Amino acid sequence: MHELLPYINQQLTGILGDIKYFIPEIYLSLLFIVVLVTDLLFGRTSEKLCRIVACAGILLVITKDVTQLPLIGDTLQLLFSGMLLQSHTSIIFRLIIDASAFLLLLYFAWDEPLKSHRKKLSDLYAITIAAVFGLHLMTMAANLLSVYLAIEFVSIASYLLVAYRSENAFSTEAGLKYVLFGAAASAIMLYGISLLYGFTGTLNLFDPNFITGLIHVNAAGSTFALVLVLVGIGFKLSFVPIHFWVPDVYEGAPTPVTAFLSTIPKVAAFVLLINFLTPFIISPQWKAFDFGLYLSVIGIITMIAGNFAAVMQNNAKRMLAYSSIGHTGFALMAMITFNGQGIKALEYYLAVYVIANIGALMLVTYFETITGSADVNTYKGLGLKYPAASISFVIILISLTGLPVTAGFTGKVFVFSAVYSVYQANHNVWLLLLTITGAVTTIVSLFYYIKIPLNLFVKRTDSISEPIAQPNYILITSIIISIVLVLLGIFPNWLTQFL
């Protein structure tokens, strides 16, 4: 026992020294407890108070994220004996996650079906805060154990969010499908992790013994293990072929929960994938598994499958679900460059995608309240009755398509530029195929996004009903989002200077 005392003292000293890099996550955990206690103390009357506490707390967490930037600089900092990794890139992505979470916490109370739930929304705010904490851990995971725990943390919170409206059979079915597919993906990933541990004798991705151990293993065995782990990460990213759960779950979940699932877990999963791949990319000895090749193939198939499937959809939520799959494939293009320019392009692209997608789903809620349906054919003739919401919807869809002069166009230009610059250096044919596929699927996306403007402004209906008064919160927020997307498209440096 006595011989362990110096080791224990050393570990405690290391932990205390690392806490300064973990302040935002400590605030998130405290915020979760405060929201939970507020709900317990005030019961059914606590909904508004929990929302105020949650939103104020997230803003405080954002300020703590910002203070981490000068603290970490451009260095990589391993925390808690290599369990977590702090870097400038992970902080930027956490800022995107937290800013989006703030917007979603506001949005939850604007959805009437969700707001009318008999349990109210206090529990929903606590679950969302817990999910954000898990997303923070995903962006920092540098050990296979922390990778698994972070993904499970987010998955459990996501299952609860999807099935929150338990009295709704469609929502319950979506939650059950999500749990079953998620459990299968987790089991597969855990098997892959166990194989990697057996091959290397370590769970630390940045331990030199990790890559060295895999190099001395049969290439087929290491490839099999890595593919199994990528299945678990791919489940969160929803790239092909682990995408089949997305349309049903997105359609069955409450629309604000769909906005959550389609945005910030993807952001965290991309950072997790970057952390997972970094030891392999920086190791000159690693040759067994060509991540660039396999991810290029996945990116091409994902872009094609997502965008062409979206063309056949008339339900706005299913259409946006398939389009999110296509966006995942496009974002993979930036990551496959494996350089700083590609990561910066990915940061910008995901930031504007998250804003636009949340705005689009907010307007789906807005028009669903009017028509009682998420079918785009029910939007006929509503453009002139609700001009502000309709114009905002068009601008947001233009950004999602990637047309000038919106931020979505600038984001796609950044991604194409990053990929093409690497192609010029090594003339990798897969990068050329990615670029061509990205351009073609961008054109294809216009065919399904344009359905909504066509129904709003071009097609007419026999109905002569008067406009229905709507709450102004969604309308004002969607207008602000559309203006931000245009301004960031014209002045991208307003955002890129912080990335």
pLDDT of residue 246: 84
| C-alpha span between 82 and 488 (Å, rounded) | 37
Residue 396 pLDDT exceeds 90:
yes
| C-alpha span between 213 and 221 (Å, rounded) | 12
- pLDDT: is 93 or 338 the higher one? 93
Single out the residue of 111, 101, 110 nearest to residue 131, CA to CA.
101
pLDDT digits (tens, 9 = 90+) for 345-389: 999 999 999 999 999 999 999 988 888 888 888 888 888 888 899
Q: Would you give the DSSP letter of residue 141?
A: B
pLDDT of residue 4: 59
pTM here is: 0.93
| 120 φ/ψ sector (left φ>0, alpha ψ -120 to 50, else beta) | left
| C-alpha span between 82 and 84 (Å, rounded) | 6
pLDDT of residue 195: 93
Residue 52 pLDDT exceeds 60:
yes
Q: Are 371 and 323 in contact (CB under 8 A)?
A: no
pLDDT digits (tens, 9 = 90+) for 444-471: 999 999 999 998 888 776 655 555 656 6
pLDDT of residue 349: 94
In terms of Cβ atoms closer than 10 Å to its own Cβ (0-12, 13-18, 19+), residue 308 is middle
Q: Are 177 and 158 in contact (CB under 8 A)?
A: no
